[in-house]
Amino acid sequence: MAPRTGMYGPCSWCVRVAKWLPVVFIVGIVVWSYYAYVIQLNILTIESNIQKTLYLLVYHVILVLFVWSYWQTIFTDIGFVPKQFRLPPTELESYECAATEETRRDVLEHFMGKHGLPVVNRTMTGDIRYCEKCCHIKPDRCHHCSVCGECVLKMDHHCPWVNNCVSFTNYKFFVLFLGYAFLYCVFVAATTLQYIIEFWRVGDAQGWQVPHPVRVLRGGHVFYQFGVLVGLPHIPHIEEQVHH
């Protein structure tokens, strides 16, 4: 969701509004596709009541699952790094006043050993991973998100399409969102394909003008292609997380 910390100033609200534009874009496409599929295809185009009922039933089940997972991905809080990882005032002062990197390293090592922090991941040089902005030792697989303005547990990436970090708290919802989005796109594309083909096969041969319902349904296939393009880049991330 929106960051709890971050930039302040007269333009901060502009940045916050801009971050929601991809989400508004997705919502707009879904609303438009709902109109195209439910009104233009099922109510105004399909004549069979059985086919119409079946399509609408399956469509709305997929849509509810898609919207639910998308909502959860957006509005699930990214959580907090546990307090025991944060340096208290005395250790923080010792760390910031240290004259050398070795002294800083010793402060962190002593603090971690004293509190028995379960940290395995280190930097490339073998040092403890420490966030200078949040003033705490980073737990394993924790990273600082510059967009959210804080460290995020098990951070995968910050996704602009959900205006939130994909992390420990909402990773399951994000995977479900991608799955239901793909299923939604496939179902809409598959059930409208026959009408698109029929138009190009019969309509062009008779010199028809493109009717409004067909123009709308053709746009549904654009939504399908967009959904695939959004989802495919995340597959390597998912595979990496599964194997780790």
Which tokens sit at 186?
Answer: 């496939």
Closest CA to 81 of 153, 4, 133: 153
Whole-number Å distance between alpha carbons of 140 and 119:
6
Whole-number Å distance between alpha carbons of 140 and 168:
12
DSSP 86: B
β strands within the chain, DSSP E = 130-131, 136-137, 143-145, 150-152, 157-159, 164-166
Burial (0-12, 13-18, 19+ Cβ within 10 Å), 219: middle
Residues with active-site annotation? 159
